[in-house]
Structure 1
Amino acid sequence: MHIQNLKKELKKLIFAYRFMRIVQLPYGSFGAGGNLSDAAIDPKSLNQIVQFLSRTERGRIALAEKKSLGKIDLQQLHQLPSNTLGYIYADHLLKNGLTPPPVREHTSDTYRYLFNYVMETHDIWHVVTGSNTDKAGEIQVETFSLTQFYPARFWVVLLAKNFLKTAIEDMDMCSQHMEAFVRGWIMGQQAQPLFGIPWNTLWEKPLDEIRAQLNIRPYLGSELEAAIKWRGEEITAKSELVGVK
Protein backbone atom coordinates (compact mmCIF):
# COMPACT_ATOMS: atom_id res chain seq x y z
CA MET A 1 0.00 0.00 0.00
CA HIS A 2 2.84 2.37 0.89
CA ILE A 3 4.52 1.71 -2.47
CA GLN A 4 1.26 2.39 -4.32
CA ASN A 5 0.82 5.71 -2.53
CA LEU A 6 4.38 6.70 -3.40
CA LYS A 7 3.71 5.88 -7.06
CA LYS A 8 0.57 8.02 -7.03
CA GLU A 9 2.41 10.94 -5.49
CA LEU A 10 5.24 10.58 -8.02
CA LYS A 11 2.75 10.60 -10.88
CA LYS A 12 1.18 13.78 -9.49
CA LEU A 13 4.60 15.45 -9.33
CA ILE A 14 5.41 14.42 -12.91
CA PHE A 15 2.01 15.64 -14.06
CA ALA A 16 2.44 19.00 -12.29
CA TYR A 17 5.92 19.46 -13.76
CA ARG A 18 4.70 18.79 -17.31
CA PHE A 19 1.69 21.03 -16.77
CA MET A 20 3.90 23.95 -15.77
CA ARG A 21 5.99 23.36 -18.88
CA ILE A 22 3.03 23.76 -21.22
CA VAL A 23 1.74 26.86 -19.41
CA GLN A 24 4.61 28.63 -21.18
CA LEU A 25 3.31 27.57 -24.60
CA PRO A 26 0.95 29.70 -26.76
CA TYR A 27 -2.80 29.20 -26.32
CA GLY A 28 -3.28 26.91 -29.32
CA SER A 29 -0.03 24.99 -29.08
CA PHE A 30 0.03 21.28 -28.38
CA GLY A 31 3.84 21.44 -28.20
CA ALA A 32 4.48 19.36 -25.10
CA GLY A 33 1.11 17.67 -25.46
CA GLY A 34 2.59 14.27 -26.15
CA ASN A 35 4.48 14.17 -22.88
CA LEU A 36 1.60 15.73 -21.01
CA SER A 37 -1.00 13.32 -22.36
CA ASP A 38 1.22 10.40 -21.38
CA ALA A 39 0.78 11.55 -17.80
CA ALA A 40 -2.81 12.75 -18.20
CA ILE A 41 -4.32 9.66 -19.83
CA ASP A 42 -4.17 6.37 -17.94
CA PRO A 43 -5.57 3.03 -19.19
CA LYS A 44 -8.87 3.58 -17.37
CA SER A 45 -9.52 7.02 -18.87
CA LEU A 46 -8.40 5.81 -22.31
CA ASN A 47 -10.96 3.01 -22.09
CA GLN A 48 -13.63 5.55 -21.14
CA ILE A 49 -12.75 7.66 -24.20
CA VAL A 50 -12.91 4.63 -26.48
CA GLN A 51 -16.29 3.59 -25.08
CA PHE A 52 -17.62 7.14 -25.51
CA LEU A 53 -16.42 7.38 -29.13
CA SER A 54 -17.76 3.91 -29.89
CA ARG A 55 -21.35 4.99 -29.23
CA THR A 56 -21.76 5.68 -32.97
CA GLU A 57 -21.16 3.28 -35.84
CA ARG A 58 -18.85 5.81 -37.50
CA GLY A 59 -16.81 6.01 -34.33
CA ARG A 60 -16.53 2.24 -34.04
CA ILE A 61 -15.37 1.96 -37.66
CA ALA A 62 -12.80 4.73 -37.21
CA LEU A 63 -11.36 3.09 -34.11
CA ALA A 64 -11.17 -0.27 -35.89
CA GLU A 65 -9.60 1.00 -39.13
CA LYS A 66 -7.46 3.80 -37.64
CA LYS A 67 -7.14 5.63 -40.97
CA SER A 68 -5.19 8.87 -41.23
CA LEU A 69 -6.20 12.00 -43.11
CA GLY A 70 -3.56 11.41 -45.78
CA LYS A 71 -1.63 13.90 -47.89
CA ILE A 72 -3.17 17.36 -48.30
CA ASP A 73 -2.39 19.54 -51.32
CA LEU A 74 -3.24 23.07 -50.21
CA GLN A 75 -2.84 24.62 -53.64
CA GLN A 76 -5.20 22.08 -55.17
CA LEU A 77 -7.78 22.63 -52.43
CA HIS A 78 -7.46 26.37 -52.90
CA GLN A 79 -8.69 25.99 -56.48
CA LEU A 80 -12.05 24.62 -55.34
CA PRO A 81 -15.15 26.87 -55.18
CA SER A 82 -14.85 29.40 -52.36
CA ASN A 83 -17.81 27.98 -50.41
CA THR A 84 -16.38 24.47 -50.09
CA LEU A 85 -14.75 22.92 -47.05
CA GLY A 86 -11.54 22.30 -49.01
CA TYR A 87 -11.13 25.90 -50.15
CA ILE A 88 -12.00 27.40 -46.76
CA TYR A 89 -9.67 24.98 -44.95
CA ALA A 90 -6.80 25.72 -47.36
CA ASP A 91 -7.48 29.46 -47.08
CA HIS A 92 -7.46 29.16 -43.29
CA LEU A 93 -4.03 27.51 -43.31
CA LEU A 94 -2.52 29.82 -45.94
CA LYS A 95 -3.72 33.04 -44.31
CA ASN A 96 -2.42 31.95 -40.90
CA GLY A 97 0.93 30.68 -42.18
CA LEU A 98 0.11 27.12 -41.17
CA THR A 99 1.11 23.88 -42.85
CA PRO A 100 -0.98 20.74 -43.34
CA PRO A 101 -0.44 17.95 -40.81
CA PRO A 102 2.24 15.47 -41.87
CA VAL A 103 1.23 12.13 -43.35
CA ARG A 104 1.36 9.68 -40.49
CA GLU A 105 2.18 6.01 -40.64
CA HIS A 106 -0.58 3.61 -39.74
CA THR A 107 -0.54 2.62 -36.09
CA SER A 108 -2.38 -0.17 -34.32
CA ASP A 109 -2.00 1.62 -30.98
CA THR A 110 -5.35 3.20 -30.05
CA TYR A 111 -3.84 5.88 -27.83
CA ARG A 112 -1.35 6.98 -30.49
CA TYR A 113 -4.07 6.94 -33.15
CA LEU A 114 -6.33 9.19 -31.07
CA PHE A 115 -3.53 11.66 -30.42
CA ASN A 116 -2.65 11.71 -34.15
CA TYR A 117 -6.32 12.16 -34.99
CA VAL A 118 -6.58 15.23 -32.79
CA MET A 119 -3.47 16.75 -34.35
CA GLU A 120 -4.69 16.04 -37.90
CA THR A 121 -8.22 17.38 -37.48
CA HIS A 122 -7.58 20.34 -35.17
CA ASP A 123 -7.60 22.96 -37.93
CA ILE A 124 -10.52 21.31 -39.71
CA TRP A 125 -12.51 21.64 -36.50
CA HIS A 126 -11.39 25.28 -36.33
CA VAL A 127 -13.00 25.81 -39.73
CA VAL A 128 -16.25 23.91 -39.21
CA THR A 129 -16.85 25.57 -35.82
CA GLY A 130 -15.96 29.03 -37.10
CA SER A 131 -13.25 29.37 -34.45
CA ASN A 132 -10.55 31.95 -35.14
CA THR A 133 -6.89 31.31 -34.44
CA ASP A 134 -6.72 34.01 -31.79
CA LYS A 135 -6.60 33.16 -28.08
CA ALA A 136 -10.37 33.08 -27.68
CA GLY A 137 -10.71 30.94 -30.80
CA GLU A 138 -8.30 28.35 -29.43
CA ILE A 139 -10.24 28.17 -26.17
CA GLN A 140 -13.48 27.80 -28.14
CA VAL A 141 -12.30 24.90 -30.32
CA GLU A 142 -10.66 23.13 -27.36
CA THR A 143 -13.87 23.38 -25.35
CA PHE A 144 -15.82 22.08 -28.34
CA SER A 145 -13.35 19.18 -28.52
CA LEU A 146 -13.82 18.45 -24.83
CA THR A 147 -17.53 17.84 -25.40
CA GLN A 148 -16.94 15.77 -28.53
CA PHE A 149 -14.47 13.44 -26.87
CA TYR A 150 -15.05 11.96 -23.46
CA PRO A 151 -14.21 14.72 -20.92
CA ALA A 152 -10.62 13.53 -20.77
CA ARG A 153 -8.03 15.03 -18.47
CA PHE A 154 -5.98 15.96 -21.56
CA TRP A 155 -8.54 18.54 -22.75
CA VAL A 156 -9.21 19.81 -19.25
CA VAL A 157 -5.47 20.35 -18.78
CA LEU A 158 -5.21 22.30 -22.05
CA LEU A 159 -8.10 24.53 -21.00
CA ALA A 160 -6.69 24.92 -17.50
CA LYS A 161 -3.38 25.94 -19.06
CA ASN A 162 -5.12 28.57 -21.17
CA PHE A 163 -7.09 30.00 -18.25
CA LEU A 164 -3.97 30.10 -16.10
CA LYS A 165 -2.28 32.03 -18.92
CA THR A 166 -5.29 34.35 -18.96
CA ALA A 167 -4.93 34.94 -15.20
CA ILE A 168 -1.18 35.59 -15.51
CA GLU A 169 -0.92 37.42 -18.84
CA ASP A 170 -4.31 38.46 -20.23
CA MET A 171 -6.78 39.39 -17.50
CA ASP A 172 -8.14 42.15 -19.75
CA MET A 173 -9.35 39.36 -22.07
CA CYS A 174 -11.04 37.31 -19.34
CA SER A 175 -14.60 38.07 -20.53
CA GLN A 176 -13.82 37.15 -24.15
CA HIS A 177 -12.18 33.91 -23.06
CA MET A 178 -15.06 32.91 -20.81
CA GLU A 179 -17.56 33.65 -23.58
CA ALA A 180 -15.48 31.53 -25.97
CA PHE A 181 -15.57 28.70 -23.44
CA VAL A 182 -19.37 28.90 -23.23
CA ARG A 183 -19.76 29.08 -27.02
CA GLY A 184 -17.55 26.03 -27.52
CA TRP A 185 -19.39 24.08 -24.83
CA ILE A 186 -22.86 24.82 -26.23
CA MET A 187 -21.84 24.19 -29.84
CA GLY A 188 -20.19 20.91 -28.89
CA GLN A 189 -23.23 19.72 -26.96
CA GLN A 190 -25.59 20.58 -29.81
CA ALA A 191 -23.47 19.19 -32.65
CA GLN A 192 -23.58 15.68 -34.02
CA PRO A 193 -20.51 13.55 -33.17
CA LEU A 194 -17.62 14.56 -35.44
CA PHE A 195 -15.22 11.77 -34.56
CA GLY A 196 -14.55 9.45 -37.47
CA ILE A 197 -15.82 11.75 -40.23
CA PRO A 198 -13.70 11.14 -43.37
CA TRP A 199 -12.96 14.81 -43.99
CA ASN A 200 -10.81 14.06 -47.03
CA THR A 201 -13.95 12.92 -48.87
CA LEU A 202 -15.79 16.17 -48.13
CA TRP A 203 -13.37 18.76 -49.53
CA GLU A 204 -15.69 19.61 -52.44
CA LYS A 205 -18.84 19.91 -50.32
CA PRO A 206 -20.16 23.37 -49.30
CA LEU A 207 -19.22 24.14 -45.72
CA ASP A 208 -22.70 25.45 -44.89
CA GLU A 209 -24.21 22.10 -45.88
CA ILE A 210 -21.72 20.23 -43.69
CA ARG A 211 -22.53 22.47 -40.74
CA ALA A 212 -26.26 22.04 -41.26
CA GLN A 213 -25.97 18.24 -41.38
CA LEU A 214 -23.83 18.21 -38.23
CA ASN A 215 -25.98 20.81 -36.43
CA ILE A 216 -23.00 23.09 -35.90
CA ARG A 217 -23.98 26.71 -35.27
CA PRO A 218 -20.83 28.83 -35.47
CA TYR A 219 -22.83 32.04 -35.24
CA LEU A 220 -24.03 31.10 -31.81
CA GLY A 221 -21.46 33.66 -30.71
CA SER A 222 -23.58 36.66 -31.71
CA GLU A 223 -26.66 35.13 -30.06
CA LEU A 224 -24.71 34.44 -26.89
CA GLU A 225 -23.22 37.91 -26.79
CA ALA A 226 -26.69 39.43 -27.24
CA ALA A 227 -28.00 37.31 -24.35
CA ILE A 228 -25.08 38.31 -22.14
CA LYS A 229 -25.60 41.98 -22.99
CA TRP A 230 -29.33 41.70 -22.29
CA ARG A 231 -28.68 39.93 -18.97
CA GLY A 232 -26.19 42.59 -17.97
CA GLU A 233 -28.65 45.38 -18.77
CA GLU A 234 -31.37 43.56 -16.82
CA ILE A 235 -29.16 43.23 -13.74
CA THR A 236 -28.18 46.90 -13.98
CA ALA A 237 -31.82 47.97 -14.25
CA LYS A 238 -32.81 45.89 -11.22
CA SER A 239 -29.87 47.25 -9.25
CA GLU A 240 -30.93 50.80 -9.98
CA LEU A 241 -34.49 50.02 -8.86
CA VAL A 242 -33.31 48.91 -5.42
CA GLY A 243 -30.72 51.66 -5.18
CA VAL A 244 -27.64 49.47 -5.69
CA LYS A 245 -24.72 51.35 -7.26
Structure 2
Amino acid sequence: MSASQAVFLPDNASLFTRLRVAGQCLKRLKDDPTNPTYGQTFNLSLNGKVYAALAQQFQRSEEGRRMLSNRPSLEARELDLPAFERLPEGTLGHEFARYYRDNKISPFETTLELKNDVDFLAKRYRETHDLLHVLTGYATDVVGEMELQAYVLANLGLRTTLFVLLNSTLGQLKAPQSGVERSEYLRRVWAAYRRGRASPRFLDFWFEEHWETPVATLRARLCAPAEA
Protein backbone atom coordinates (compact mmCIF):
# COMPACT_ATOMS: atom_id res chain seq x y z
CA MET A 1 0.00 0.00 0.00
CA SER A 2 1.40 3.40 -1.01
CA ALA A 3 1.64 6.40 1.31
CA SER A 4 -1.18 8.10 -0.59
CA GLN A 5 -3.50 5.13 -0.12
CA ALA A 6 -2.66 4.98 3.59
CA VAL A 7 -4.45 8.29 4.20
CA PHE A 8 -8.15 7.47 4.37
CA LEU A 9 -11.12 9.60 5.46
CA PRO A 10 -14.13 7.40 6.38
CA ASP A 11 -17.67 8.49 5.54
CA ASN A 12 -19.36 10.37 8.41
CA ALA A 13 -16.05 10.56 10.28
CA SER A 14 -16.03 11.99 13.79
CA LEU A 15 -14.29 15.28 14.59
CA PHE A 16 -11.42 13.37 16.18
CA THR A 17 -10.97 11.23 13.07
CA ARG A 18 -11.15 14.24 10.75
CA LEU A 19 -8.51 16.07 12.78
CA ARG A 20 -6.31 12.97 12.84
CA VAL A 21 -6.56 12.53 9.08
CA ALA A 22 -5.90 16.24 8.52
CA GLY A 23 -2.74 15.93 10.60
CA GLN A 24 -1.60 12.90 8.59
CA CYS A 25 -2.14 14.79 5.35
CA LEU A 26 -0.23 17.83 6.56
CA LYS A 27 2.78 15.72 7.47
CA ARG A 28 2.84 14.20 4.00
CA LEU A 29 2.19 17.52 2.25
CA LYS A 30 5.36 18.95 3.78
CA ASP A 31 7.38 16.51 1.67
CA ASP A 32 4.96 16.27 -1.26
CA PRO A 33 3.07 19.62 -1.44
CA THR A 34 1.48 19.05 -4.86
CA ASN A 35 0.15 15.55 -4.14
CA PRO A 36 -3.53 15.66 -5.20
CA THR A 37 -4.68 12.89 -2.85
CA TYR A 38 -3.18 14.45 0.28
CA GLY A 39 -4.40 17.90 -0.72
CA GLN A 40 -7.98 16.93 -1.40
CA THR A 41 -8.21 14.64 1.62
CA PHE A 42 -6.95 17.48 3.83
CA ASN A 43 -9.53 19.73 2.20
CA LEU A 44 -12.38 17.29 2.85
CA SER A 45 -11.30 16.43 6.39
CA LEU A 46 -11.83 20.01 7.62
CA ASN A 47 -14.38 21.39 5.16
CA GLY A 48 -16.92 18.58 4.83
CA LYS A 49 -19.70 20.39 6.70
CA VAL A 50 -18.98 23.64 4.86
CA TYR A 51 -19.32 21.89 1.50
CA ALA A 52 -22.50 20.14 2.65
CA ALA A 53 -24.03 23.54 3.48
CA LEU A 54 -22.86 24.93 0.14
CA ALA A 55 -24.45 21.97 -1.67
CA GLN A 56 -27.78 22.83 -0.06
CA GLN A 57 -27.39 26.42 -1.25
CA PHE A 58 -26.56 25.23 -4.77
CA GLN A 59 -29.83 23.28 -4.83
CA ARG A 60 -31.77 26.54 -4.46
CA SER A 61 -30.71 27.94 -7.85
CA GLU A 62 -31.00 26.64 -11.40
CA GLU A 63 -27.30 27.14 -12.12
CA GLY A 64 -26.31 25.47 -8.87
CA ARG A 65 -28.51 22.45 -9.57
CA ARG A 66 -27.08 22.21 -13.07
CA MET A 67 -23.55 22.18 -11.72
CA LEU A 68 -24.27 19.52 -9.11
CA SER A 69 -26.00 17.40 -11.75
CA ASN A 70 -23.36 17.73 -14.50
CA ARG A 71 -20.28 17.93 -12.25
CA PRO A 72 -18.04 19.77 -14.74
CA SER A 73 -14.31 19.24 -14.46
CA LEU A 74 -11.31 21.55 -14.71
CA GLU A 75 -8.76 18.77 -14.29
CA ALA A 76 -5.67 18.67 -16.50
CA ARG A 77 -7.15 16.09 -18.88
CA GLU A 78 -10.10 18.39 -19.59
CA LEU A 79 -7.99 21.45 -20.45
CA ASP A 80 -6.46 22.12 -23.87
CA LEU A 81 -3.82 24.65 -22.85
CA PRO A 82 -2.21 24.91 -26.33
CA ALA A 83 -5.64 25.83 -27.76
CA PHE A 84 -6.17 28.34 -24.93
CA GLU A 85 -2.84 30.00 -25.76
CA ARG A 86 -4.10 30.65 -29.28
CA LEU A 87 -7.05 32.66 -27.96
CA PRO A 88 -6.70 36.46 -27.96
CA GLU A 89 -4.57 38.00 -25.22
CA GLY A 90 -6.64 39.09 -22.25
CA THR A 91 -9.19 36.29 -22.57
CA LEU A 92 -9.61 33.89 -19.68
CA GLY A 93 -8.29 30.93 -21.65
CA HIS A 94 -5.19 32.73 -22.89
CA GLU A 95 -4.32 34.19 -19.49
CA PHE A 96 -4.98 30.85 -17.78
CA ALA A 97 -2.53 29.08 -20.13
CA ARG A 98 -0.01 31.89 -19.63
CA TYR A 99 -0.33 31.50 -15.85
CA TYR A 100 0.71 27.84 -16.03
CA ARG A 101 3.53 28.57 -18.45
CA ASP A 102 4.93 31.50 -16.48
CA ASN A 103 4.77 29.67 -13.14
CA LYS A 104 6.07 26.38 -14.60
CA ILE A 105 3.27 24.36 -13.01
CA SER A 106 0.57 21.99 -14.24
CA PRO A 107 -3.22 21.92 -13.79
CA PHE A 108 -4.81 20.07 -10.89
CA GLU A 109 -5.46 16.33 -11.03
CA THR A 110 -7.04 13.97 -8.52
CA THR A 111 -7.30 10.23 -7.96
CA LEU A 112 -10.24 10.40 -5.56
CA GLU A 113 -13.67 9.03 -6.45
CA LEU A 114 -16.56 11.49 -6.38
CA LYS A 115 -19.13 9.76 -4.20
CA ASN A 116 -21.41 12.72 -3.51
CA ASP A 117 -21.89 16.48 -3.88
CA VAL A 118 -19.48 17.20 -1.03
CA ASP A 119 -16.68 15.36 -2.84
CA PHE A 120 -17.47 17.24 -6.04
CA LEU A 121 -17.41 20.67 -4.36
CA ALA A 122 -14.12 19.86 -2.63
CA LYS A 123 -12.66 18.96 -6.02
CA ARG A 124 -14.22 22.01 -7.67
CA TYR A 125 -12.60 24.32 -5.14
CA ARG A 126 -9.17 22.77 -5.69
CA GLU A 127 -9.60 23.11 -9.45
CA THR A 128 -10.53 26.79 -9.29
CA HIS A 129 -7.54 27.85 -7.16
CA ASP A 130 -5.36 28.75 -10.14
CA LEU A 131 -8.25 30.42 -11.95
CA LEU A 132 -8.74 32.62 -8.89
CA HIS A 133 -5.13 33.78 -9.11
CA VAL A 134 -5.83 34.90 -12.68
CA LEU A 135 -9.17 36.45 -11.81
CA THR A 136 -8.19 38.32 -8.64
CA GLY A 137 -4.70 39.26 -9.77
CA TYR A 138 -3.09 37.95 -6.57
CA ALA A 139 0.46 36.72 -7.18
CA THR A 140 1.84 33.27 -6.41
CA ASP A 141 4.45 34.50 -3.93
CA VAL A 142 3.97 34.14 -0.17
CA VAL A 143 1.91 37.29 0.28
CA GLY A 144 -0.17 36.68 -2.86
CA GLU A 145 -1.04 33.17 -1.74
CA MET A 146 -2.12 34.46 1.67
CA GLU A 147 -4.18 37.19 0.01
CA LEU A 148 -5.98 34.49 -1.95
CA GLN A 149 -6.50 32.38 1.19
CA ALA A 150 -8.04 35.40 2.92
CA TYR A 151 -10.25 36.09 -0.11
CA VAL A 152 -11.54 32.49 -0.16
CA LEU A 153 -12.02 32.43 3.62
CA ALA A 154 -14.35 35.40 3.37
CA ASN A 155 -16.09 34.18 0.21
CA LEU A 156 -16.70 30.54 1.15
CA GLY A 157 -15.78 30.15 4.83
CA LEU A 158 -13.44 27.18 4.28
CA ARG A 159 -11.70 26.09 7.46
CA THR A 160 -8.54 24.99 5.68
CA THR A 161 -7.98 28.54 4.43
CA LEU A 162 -8.20 29.83 8.00
CA PHE A 163 -5.73 27.17 9.16
CA VAL A 164 -3.23 27.99 6.40
CA LEU A 165 -3.67 31.73 6.86
CA LEU A 166 -3.14 31.67 10.62
CA ASN A 167 -0.13 29.39 10.33
CA SER A 168 1.53 31.57 7.69
CA THR A 169 0.64 34.85 9.41
CA LEU A 170 2.09 33.76 12.74
CA GLY A 171 5.30 32.80 10.99
CA GLN A 172 5.34 36.06 9.06
CA LEU A 173 4.86 38.15 12.20
CA LYS A 174 7.57 36.23 14.01
CA ALA A 175 10.14 36.33 11.21
CA PRO A 176 9.12 38.08 7.98
CA GLN A 177 10.45 36.19 4.94
CA SER A 178 8.44 37.70 2.11
CA GLY A 179 10.27 41.02 1.83
CA VAL A 180 7.11 42.80 2.99
CA GLU A 181 6.86 44.65 6.29
CA ARG A 182 4.52 43.19 8.92
CA SER A 183 2.11 46.13 8.73
CA GLU A 184 1.94 45.95 4.93
CA TYR A 185 1.41 42.19 5.04
CA LEU A 186 -1.50 42.54 7.48
CA ARG A 187 -3.01 45.40 5.47
CA ARG A 188 -2.96 43.40 2.25
CA VAL A 189 -4.39 40.24 3.82
CA TRP A 190 -7.18 42.19 5.54
CA ALA A 191 -7.98 44.01 2.30
CA ALA A 192 -8.19 40.67 0.48
CA TYR A 193 -10.55 39.33 3.16
CA ARG A 194 -12.85 42.34 2.78
CA ARG A 195 -12.73 41.98 -1.00
CA GLY A 196 -13.70 38.30 -0.83
CA ARG A 197 -16.56 39.09 1.51
CA ALA A 198 -17.90 41.77 -0.85
CA SER A 199 -17.61 39.55 -3.95
CA PRO A 200 -20.23 37.15 -5.39
CA ARG A 201 -19.61 33.47 -4.66
CA PHE A 202 -17.26 32.09 -7.31
CA LEU A 203 -17.59 28.35 -6.74
CA ASP A 204 -20.77 27.85 -8.77
CA PHE A 205 -19.57 29.92 -11.75
CA TRP A 206 -19.17 28.03 -15.04
CA PHE A 207 -15.64 29.04 -16.00
CA GLU A 208 -15.73 26.35 -18.71
CA GLU A 209 -18.18 28.48 -20.68
CA HIS A 210 -16.03 31.62 -20.60
CA TRP A 211 -12.59 30.80 -22.00
CA GLU A 212 -13.08 33.44 -24.70
CA THR A 213 -14.38 36.09 -22.28
CA PRO A 214 -11.94 38.87 -21.31
CA VAL A 215 -10.55 38.50 -17.79
CA ALA A 216 -11.44 42.15 -17.17
CA THR A 217 -15.10 41.40 -17.88
CA LEU A 218 -15.14 38.40 -15.53
CA ARG A 219 -13.24 40.30 -12.84
CA ALA A 220 -15.84 43.05 -12.91
CA ARG A 221 -18.59 40.44 -12.65
CA LEU A 222 -17.12 38.17 -9.97
CA CYS A 223 -14.73 40.29 -7.89
CA ALA A 224 -15.27 43.40 -5.83
CA PRO A 225 -12.72 46.11 -6.69
CA ALA A 226 -9.30 45.66 -5.10
CA GLU A 227 -8.23 48.32 -2.64
CA ALA A 228 -5.44 50.63 -3.78
- TM-score over 0.5 (shorter chain): yes
Q: Distance in 2 between matches of 1:67 and 1:101?
A: 14
Unaligned runs of 5+ in 1: 1-6, 223-245
Which one of the candidate residues 68, 72, 97 is aligned to 2:73? 68
Q: Does 1:81 align with 2:115?
A: no
Which one of the candidate residues 17, 42, 46 is aligned to 1:40? 46
Aligned to 2:205: 197
Which one of the candidate residues 182, 188, 192 is aligned to 1:184? 192
Report the alpha carbon displacement of residue 96 of structure 1 after superposing the two structures with TM.
Answer: 0.4
Query: Judging changes above 3 Å, is the alpha-carbon distance between structure 1 residues 80 and 48 closer, same or farther for their aligned structure 2 residues?
Result: same
Aligned to 1:95: 102
Aligned to 1:58: 63
1:162-241 to structure 2, matched below 5 A, reads 162-167=168-173, 170=176, 173=180, 174-217=182-225, 220-222=226-228
What is the aligned-residue identity percentage?
22
Unaligned runs of 5+ in 2: 1-13
Q: Does 1:157 align with 2:163?
A: yes
Query: Judging changes above 3 Å, is the alpha-carbon distance between structure 1 residues 17 and 101 closer, same or farther for their aligned structure 2 residues?
Result: closer
Aligned to 2:143: 136
Q: Distance in 2 between matches of 1:166 and 1:55?
A: 41
Q: Distance in 1 between matches of 2:61 and 2:111?
A: 25
Q: Distance in 2 between matches of 1:29 and 1:167?
A: 26
Query: Judging changes above 3 Å, is the alpha-carbon distance between structure 1 residues 192 and 168 closer, same or farther for their aligned structure 2 residues?
Result: same
Larger radius of gyration: 1
SS of 1:102's equivalent in the other structure is coil
Q: Distance in 1 between matches of 2:20 and 2:153?
A: 23
Aligned to 2:5: none
Aligned to 2:8: none
Query: Judging changes above 3 Å, is the alpha-carbon distance between structure 1 residues 209 and 22 closer, same or farther for their aligned structure 2 residues?
Result: same
Which one of the candidate residues 146, 149, 174 is aligned to 2:153? 146
Q: Which amino acid aligns with 2:211?
A: W
Q: Distance in 2 between matches of 1:199 and 1:88?
A: 13
* Equivalent residue pairs, number: 210
Query: Judging changes above 3 Å, is the alpha-carbon distance between structure 1 residues 51 and 161 closer, same or farther for their aligned structure 2 residues?
Result: farther
Tell me the TM-score normalised to structure 1 length: 0.70
